Amino acid sequence: MATIVLGLSGALGHDPSAALYIDGHLVAAAEEERFIRDKHAKNRMPLEAARFCLRQAGIAPGDVDVVAVPFAPIPLSSPARWHFARRYWYAPDRALDALVNGNRRYRRYRKRIFELLRTLGIDPARIEFEPVEHHLAHASSAYHLSGFTGKTAILGVDGKGEYATTFFGYGENGRIHKIKEFYDPDSLGGLYGALTEYLGFEMLDGEYKVMGMAPYGDPTRHDLARLLHCDGKELRVNTRYVNTVGLRRYKENGQGFYFSPRLIEWLGPRRHGDSADQPYIDYAAAIQALYEDAVLKLMDHYLGDILRETGRLAFAGGGALNVKLNQKIIARPEVRELFVQPASGDAGTAVGAASHALVKRGIQPEPMEHVFLGPSFTTAECLAACARHPGQPVHQVIDRMPEHVARLLAKGHPVAWFQGRMEFGPRALGGRSILGCPSVAGVADRINEQIKFRERWRPFCPSMLDRVAPQMFKVNHPAPFMTFTFAVNEEWKTRVPEVVHADGTARAQALERRHNPRYYALMEELERLTGNGVVLNTSLNRRGEPMVCSPEDALAMFFGSDLQYLAMEDVLVTKPGGAPDG
């Protein structure tokens, strides 16, 4: 009999998701936000995501054997709760709560999970319930899905889970061994998030915008070292400025932030608006440099010996989505292979908890080679969505859609590309994308201003044929998930300028044909037309919205922007003024 494990995340109040394994095969995984159209789905549970996983697997709710969650009770004997209480002395209600009622959040979450299971038709009394420590779930999602054999260093950097914020360990013979954890409020993810709020973005959403802003600034103009003590062995965040709670928090229009008024007194007023200007671009550059320096120092101290022995590193947690840090890690001589879990944030912990539960039962999960794990829709379903839409969209069925779209791109038209199964994780990788030709001048600005409605300075990323990546980049390293940036060779900076960032790098997806043949065929045709097997790729959504999931979502986004072309399976939708042949 096959073992069926359902992983459910959402304990921390954001990014709930579901993942389903049948033995070692990951059949489905998806974020709740995509189904309910609410970005990050805060304070929601993964009901629709779980329903999708069960449908995709073709199983009844009663067939589920194990439910695994990435949140577990932490005993009073753990140093975590005592550290929390000591460091939050200035908020005695929270400090005392950590000692006398430190698993309150876990008990509340467990109750909500059991309510969710009953709604799904799963009897909590008839399944094995497996709570997994949050950072252990992150670690499992990286190590067990990396495909690495032999001893592997494991790094986890996040805001926080139950209490832990940062994880150092190693995997060997399928088992994860913990070397060191740091605890709240000493959180590098929290520190970066606090500066994200100060720089005018939303914590847990805007960190990648800070990272995108950083190359425009000078990290040497402002010394942010007082925010953090990190000598490689110890990590201590200065809670007089950041990672603050209670009365220490800065408040603006009734909203409390994760930093104190002292930060405003020191650095000046919080940034507002969409412009990337002084001194905020320099602050972005400085916090990026401080973050990189701290992670690399800690990695050297706690994982250096293992890395020099094996050369393999598996990395997860929200901090692993910092692609500039990942570029620095790859550059280290002791690191030969780096696997970054593509859904590194908390959504990925559904996979992590489920994979951990599998390994505990003697089943090895398969390596994660792609993220096309969400829903797919047939051409007939796309046609039906067009027929139901009140805008009565002009559409027709097109033979050889990849070649057709490549011709539109080569003529300078952005195209919405809705094909196959939706991606799991934050990156559009050729399932739900907006595409452009990276050699057409101005196409990036056009997509930013007229389609995505986002800041002009935000960069775009390239997808490319796997054989093109070694030609385009100065470092040859697998890049299937857009989790790394690479320095671009000079020739390619002029060949595909629309996907090269201000610092001469690009965050790349190097695609193998077997993982998405249709997307690969599009890039092959674009190479024939332009000489470059590279396409500009950004997620199919507007600012502040989740990536689209269904044909109805795609049509709503299409009519809410200046897009002229939408390719849904074999259906090409056009607006007046846009001809089917471009």
Alpha helices in 269-373 (DSSP H): 280-310, 323-331, 349-360
pLDDT at 21 over 80: yes
Cα–Cα–Cα angle for 20, 26, 29, nearest 5°?
Answer: 55
d(CA 395, CA 106): 50
pLDDT at 290 over 70: yes
Interval 30-87: pLDDT, tens: 999 999 999 999 999 999 999 999 999 999 999 999 999 999 999 999 999 999 999 9
Interval 237-272: pLDDT, tens: 999 999 999 999 999 999 999 999 999 999 999 999
* CB burial of residue 36 (10 Å; 0-12, 13-18, 19+): middle
Active site residue 413: no
Q: What is the pTM of this model?
A: 0.96
pLDDT of residue 581: 59
pLDDT of residue 41: 97
Mean pLDDT, rounded, of the chain: 96
Cβ distance 315 to 142 under 8 Å? yes
Q: Check 14, 83, 144, 477 and give the catalytic one.
A: 14
Neighbours of 536 (CB within 10 A): 24
* CB burial of residue 524 (10 Å; 0-12, 13-18, 19+): middle
Q: Which of 230, 190, 185, 181 is nearest to 78 (CA)?
A: 181
Q: 4-78+89-145+341-360: which CATH topology?
A: Nucleotidyltransferase; domain 5 (3.30.420)
| Residues in CB range of 164: below 8 A, 6 or more apart | 80, 133, 134, 135, 181, 182, 183, 184
d(CA 525, CA 433): 17
pLDDT at 371 over 60: yes
Question: What are the b/e assignments for 64-96, b being 16+ CB within 10 Å?
Answer: bbbbbbbbbebeeebebbbbbbebbeebeeebe
pLDDT of residue 381: 98
pLDDT of residue 107: 97
Interval 504-538: pLDDT, tens: 999 999 999 999 999 999 999 999 999 999 999 99
Spans of all domains in the chain: 4-78+89-145+341-360, 188-340, 379-574
Cβ distance 377 to 420 under 8 Å? no
Compute the chain's Rg from CA coordinates.
23
Instruction: Provide the percentage of residues in the chain whose pLDDT is more than 90.
Output: 95
Domains 188-340 and 379-574 belong to one CATH topology: no
pLDDT of residue 577: 67
pLDDT of residue 550: 98
Look up the CATH number of domain 188-340.
3.30.420.40
Cβ distance 428 to 547 under 8 Å? yes
Cβ distance 16 to 78 under 8 Å? no
pLDDT of residue 580: 58
pLDDT of residue 1: 86
pLDDT of residue 276: 81
Under DSSP, the state recorded for 571 is E
pLDDT of residue 582: 55
Would you place residue 134 in the very low, low, confident or very high pLDDT band (cuts 50, 70, 90)? very high
pLDDT of residue 38: 97
Look up the CATH number of domain 379-574.
3.90.870.20
d(CA 161, CA 176): 18
Q: Which two tokens stand for residue 145?
A: 């899905």
Interval 458-469: pLDDT, tens: 889 999 999 999
- Phi then psi for residue 20, to 5 deg, are -130, 125
pLDDT of residue 579: 57
d(CA 511, CA 521): 11
Say whether 330 sits in a helix, a strand or coil: helix
pLDDT at 13 over 70: yes
pLDDT of residue 111: 97
Neighbours of 273 (CB within 10 A): 9
pLDDT of residue 578: 60
pLDDT of residue 185: 98
